[in-house]
A and B are shown apart, each in its own frame.
Chain A
């Protein structure tokens, strides 16, 4: 069971490191990634990353560090080692409570697992998505079910006691039985944490294009709903804590890094297209790999866009992000943190949501209940609506 001490409290700063390489671009993925195999490009990326990190991280102790992508595990063993040296020269990774790395089955080996462990990583998240061959093919995944199990075993072999599995449900044509068997297989592996995301059709992806052309489309909502409900029920029975609408923690506890995002915490993102947040200013790095590297290597800022949230917008964002946490979001704490009075603006909406039995609101804690969990995006999105044009 997770307890509050294990959850972040939103203070401090986290570090996100974006490794933008993949062996293939998956049909559903809208993240900033590139299929580039030349070692020289990888080296140039690492050089630029070293430059950017030196500019942006000033030795403080991070709340958490997250190596994401892309596919960090795609880097060759020496380059992977160099990645940890670069970050390790600015951050004492051994002293940081949570250092996560994303790994994909097609490239994660025992050797790389050992390098990660030695480099200071203490949590591995394996991008598995599904154990069904035809669904893996549909998603353009570059691995098979056995590969995913082997990757999990590799993490364990290197001594990781906090290994998470990413799964995806609602793949077009997927049945409830298939999803149930995916969950069982992940449980059999003895995973410490599960992220279970509903597949979405994101703009600019191959899947979205196919959908526009009528080649594919989302499943019936009733199936998605049954999968979502089954997930919560089954993982509850298995002793997992549903600490967030899509995330479930067993022995390893919640992912503090993601939780820090939901708490509207500050973080620094390094790498092409990486995002950062500092007290209501949200910044996005230059996206194209080469342009980002050019800027970083020239000693220039890598920022491409920035926005400063208006106070009400910041409050609405805090509610939108926080409502997905099972503990809910503390409205009074947001008021105090932002020095704002929120009740007048948000209470009519909250009262309506209470009446519709979507949320519970007691002692300033606002949280999803009942149908609200199944309609979390709508409930949360409505808070943003309050601050639009305010």
Chain B
């Protein structure tokens, strides 16, 4: 057990790409936790996808021993946080396990949307925040300027900021001293009733579920019977220890310490981040820590196997992926056009993309993804409130009293020259303007309330292109509001294609219907007859396109005797055709089902 006064628990919070993982690596190296030559580039990003995208999806923790200038050996626990808004709840839980945070800002880029959001989360968790300006090695670093932005945006005095280069190691030791000096030691009684905050859990093929936790009060050790208060599940502790960064078993973890617990748990399904762990024995049982929420998906879409016979394999793959990501949900659904598949729920758009890529890369699944939808609430005439996230679940119109749609608070940080462009795209998407905050002279954060459904389609891409890449955004779902929703049905040759139908606000229905038909027109090949494409609300048609009939298809060259090449090409096309979905007598390529995702171009 380490004396609490010699423990410091901290996080690093930053916008994507501002160098969080690099700084973490440097601290590990300076404290001798990891030898330089043993360092894999950026140790904390475990999953391949994380490293590729430069973001940390799942939080990780690591314990270091640091001999400070005062001659004492301190235990420093770094709790890494996911760097994306989809995982804000996880970020908050990780922050609640700390007493302080390093707010890392790129000294060449300045304050971005996530910098502000993360700083606010740190405030919410009542942390001591130390501003750190990174990338001082870059020639265009402007530390004074960016320190002023930090002061304006987050009210942290500019002169407190430490300017470092995590890449070259410049001044990184100052960061370690600041952690000792400015971040309070944890409080909590090692002899009290056990209260441990689970801030993350991962699945390990050999050990089962590994729980990462911060002990707030009391002590946990091998052999303890523990209880998870949120799910009421009991387990026996097989091992406790610290991450240095490999799992090193210790006799116990006491108040103030951060570490891991292995308790013979086979799946992450009943393991929820934010839950409180205590002793099962009623006499020793502690209270639930505040702020626990069960993860609730915000975005839904359908995943269908490209080949219908792969349905069972897709189910197995989804189950496997879910083993180490319990925040994602799935249930079987059927579509007339796509057959058997799954309706899947995600914390947000990035989360959806990450799962889709994991299915493709780790599980080698070929999937068709349908357009994402948000979770709507519907008040029925009976007074009952139901939730709907698929157009096919919509009850009959005469049973509906009111539609409610999720509303987000969106923060966008841009150079001030782009204010007009941002105003335009946000109001086009039914956004209402809330606030403007200047950070220095030329950087501004604009706040809007925008229906969530409006930002799940290419909003981020459009923002990036309209602001020449400078705009950054962050969003948070704030609640539900009444809305005038309609279900737009898409018909191909007079037959409804359920997988293409969608829910949208009435004011946008025509435009979105038209865009989707235009896209379908490009994706569906010509047939020997004219193919009519229609969008309809109820029985009323709101848009129409047609694909004219194939009128000529004779090339009939002799290919210089190279018959193999031509035949193979045709055979390949025929194989591709087997992957098309038949709606009536129209063949729809699977790609077309994604066309609803791209309303632009």
CB of A228 within 8 A of chain B?
A: yes
Do the beta carbons of B563 and A224 come within 8 Å of each other?
no
Q: List 11 A-B contacts (CB under 8 A).
A: A16-B560, A68-B560, A197-B556, A200-B555, A225-B552, A228-B554, A275-B563, A277-B561, A284-B562, A305-B564, A388-B571
Nearest residue (CB) in A for B572 is A388
Task: Point out the residues of chain A lying under 8 angstroms from B316, CB to CB.
Answer: none
Which of A197, A274, A377 has the largest number of chain B CB atoms within 10 A? A377
Chain A interface size, as a band, is 35 or more
Check if A275 sits within 8 Å of B556, measured CB to CB: no
Within 8 Å of chain A (Cβ to Cβ): is B207? Answer: no
Q: Are A384 and B571 in contact, with the CB atoms below 8 A? A: yes
Q: Say yes or no: is A52 at the interface (Cβ < 8 Å to chain B).
A: no
Interface residue from A16, A221, A384 paired with B570 (Cβ < 8 Å): A384
Q: Are B574 and A376 in contact (CB under 8 A)?
A: no
Stretch of A137-145, A316-324, A327-335, A339-347 contacting B (4+ beta carbons < 8 Å): A316-324
Cβ–Cβ < 8 Å partners of B468 in chain A = none
- B191 interfacial contact with A, CB 8 Å: no
Assuming A68-B560, A307-B564, is B574 touching A228 (CB within 8 A)?
A: no
B563 and A197 contact, CB distance less than 8 A? no
Least CB distance from B556 to A in Å reads 4
CB nearest neighbor in B for A201: B555
List the B side residues contacting A292 at CB < 8 Å. none
Q: With A225-B552, A377-B553, A377-B554 as given contacts, are A267 and B561 in contact (CB-CB < 8 Å)?
A: yes
B558 partner residues in chain A, CB cutoff 8 A: 258, 261
Report whether B552 and A385 are in contact in the complex, using a CB–CB cutoff of 8 Å.
no
CA distance A255 to B496 in the complex (A): 51
A246 with B554: CB separation less than 8 A: yes
Measured CB to CB, the closest approach of chain A to B404, in angstroms, equals: 45
B560 touches A375 (CB 8 A): no
User: Is the CB of A244 closer than 8 A to any CB of chain B?
Assistant: yes
Near A by CB (< 8 A), chain B positions 525-558 give 528, 548, 550-558
Instruction: Say how far B283's CB is from chain A's closest CB, in angstroms.
Output: 68
Q: Which residue of A lies closest to B562 (CB)?
A: A275
Inter-chain contact B571/A221, CB cutoff 8 Å: no
Q: Do the beta carbons of A384 and B556 come within 8 Å of each other?
A: no
Q: Are B560 and A31 in contact (CB under 8 A)?
A: yes
Taken residue by residue from 242 to 270, chain A's Cβ proximity to chain B (1 for < 8 Å, 0 otherwise) reads as 00111000000000001001000001010
Q: How many A-B residue pairs have CB under 8 A?
A: 98
Check B37 for interface membership: any CB of A closer than 8 A. Answer: no
Beyond contacts A275-B561, A284-B562, A373-B554: 13 other A-B pairs, Cβ-Cβ < 8 A, are A197-B555, A197-B557, A200-B555, A221-B548, A222-B551, A246-B554, A261-B558, A320-B570, A374-B553, A375-B553, A376-B556, A377-B553, A384-B571
A274: which B residues are within 8 A, CB to CB? 561
State A67–B564 Cα separation when bound (angstroms): 20
Q: Is the CB of B574 within 8 A of A378?
A: no
| B560 A376 Cβ-Cβ under 8 A | no
In the assembled complex, B578 has its CB within 8 A of some CB on chain A: yes
Q: Does A354 contact B (CB under 8 A)?
A: no
Complex: A266 Cα to B558 Cα, angstroms: 15
Whole-angstrom distance between the alpha carbons of A305 and B565 in the complex? Answer: 11
Hey, which chain B residues are within 8 Å of A245, CB to CB?
Answer: 554, 556
The distance in angstroms between the C-alpha atoms of A273 and B571, with both chains bound, is 21
Given known A-B contacts A277-B563, A384-B571, A225 and B551 have beta carbons under 8 A apart? yes
Which A84-128 residues have a C-beta within 8 angstroms of B? none
Pick the most buried of A200, A222, A385: most chain B CB atoms within 10 A of its CB.
A385
From B550, B555, B561, B565, name the one whose CB has the most chain A CB atoms within 10 angstroms: B561
B140: Cβ under 8 A from any A Cβ: no
Task: State whether A221 and B574 are in contact (beta carbons under 8 Å apart), knowing that A261-B561, A320-B567 are contacts in the complex.
Answer: no
Q: Are B564 and A284 in contact (CB under 8 A)?
A: yes
CB of A9 within 8 Å of the partner chain: no
- Known A-B contacts A221-B551, A381-B574; the reply to A246 vs B562 at CB < 8 A is no
Contact A246:B564 (CB < 8 A) given known A381-B574, A388-B578: no
- Nearest-Cβ distance from residue A228 to partner chain B, whole angstroms: 6
A156 touches B (CB below 8 Å): no
Residue A198, interface by CB 8 Å: yes
Q: Which of A351-390 contact B (CB under 8 A)?
A: 356, 371, 373-378, 381, 384-385, 388-389
Take A388-B574, A388-B578 as given contacts and tell me if A375 and B552 are in contact as well, using a CB distance cutoff of 8 Å: yes
Chain A residues positioned under 8 Å from B555 (CB to CB): 197-198, 200, 377
A282, CB-defined interface residue at 8 Å: yes
Give Cα A185–Cα B443 distance, bound, in whole angstroms: 71
Nearest-Cβ distance from residue B319 to partner chain A, whole angstroms: 29
Given contacts A384-B567, A385-B577, contact A378 B550 (CB under 8 A): yes
Q: Residue of A at shortest CB range from B526?
A: A221
Q: How far is the CA of A224 from the CA of B550 in the complex (A)?
A: 12
Q: Are B554 and A275 in contact (CB under 8 A)?
A: no
CB contacts (< 8 Å) of A320 on chain B: these are 567, 570
The interface residues of chain B lying within 8 Å CB-to-CB of A384 are: 567, 570-571, 574
The reply to whether B563 and A376 form a contact with Cβ atoms under 8 Å apart is: no
Least CB separation from B548: chain A residue? A221
In this complex, the member of B554, B558, B560, B573 whose beta carbon has the largest number of chain A beta carbons within 10 angstroms is B554
Within the complex, the shortest CB–CB distance from A354 to chain B, in Å, comes to: 14
The reply to whether A246 and B556 contact each other, CB–CB distance below 8 Å, is yes
Q: Which residues of A contact B565 (CB under 8 A)?
A: 284
Q: How far is the CB of A386 from chain B (nearest CB, A)?
A: 9
Contacts of A258 in B (CB 8 A): 558
Nearest chain B CB to A379's CB is how many angstroms away?
9
- Tell me which residues across on chain A come within 8 A of B557, comparing CB atoms: 197, 200, 246
Expressed in whole angstroms, the minimum distance between the Cβ of A35 and any Cβ of chain B is 18
- Contacting residues, chain B, for A277 (C-beta < 8 A): 561, 563
Report Cα–Cα, A275/B560, bound state, in Å. Answer: 8
Q: Which residues of B contact A371 (CB under 8 A)?
A: 528
Residue B41 is within 8 A (CB to CB) of chain A in the complex: no
Whether A275 and B564, one on each chain, are in contact in the complex, defined by CB atoms closer than 8 angstroms, is: yes
A269 to B528, CA, bound (A): 37
Least Cβ–Cβ distance between A91 and chain B, in angstroms: 17
Q: How many whole Å from A333's CB to the nearest CB in chain B?
A: 19
Q: Cβ of A305: which chain B residues have Cβ within 8 Å of it?
A: 564
Nearest-neighbour CB distance to chain A for B550, whole angstroms, equals: 7
Whole-angstrom distance between the alpha carbons of A373 and B571 in the complex? 21
Question: Interface readout for A13-39 with B: 1 if CB under 8 Å, 0 if not?
Answer: 000101000000000000100000000
How far, in whole Å, are A284 and B548 apart by their CA atoms in the complex? 39
Once the chains are docked, how many angstroms separate the CA of A325 from the CA of B561? 16
Q: How far is the CA of A198 from the CA of B570 in the complex (A)?
A: 18
B563 to chain A, nearest CB (A): 7
Bound state CA distance, A273 and B553, in angstroms?
Answer: 27
Contact present for A377 and B556 (CB under 8 Å): yes
Is B561 within 8 A of A375, CB to CB?
A: no
A374–B549 alpha-carbon span in the complex (Å): 12
- Which residue of B has the minimal Cβ distance to A220? B551
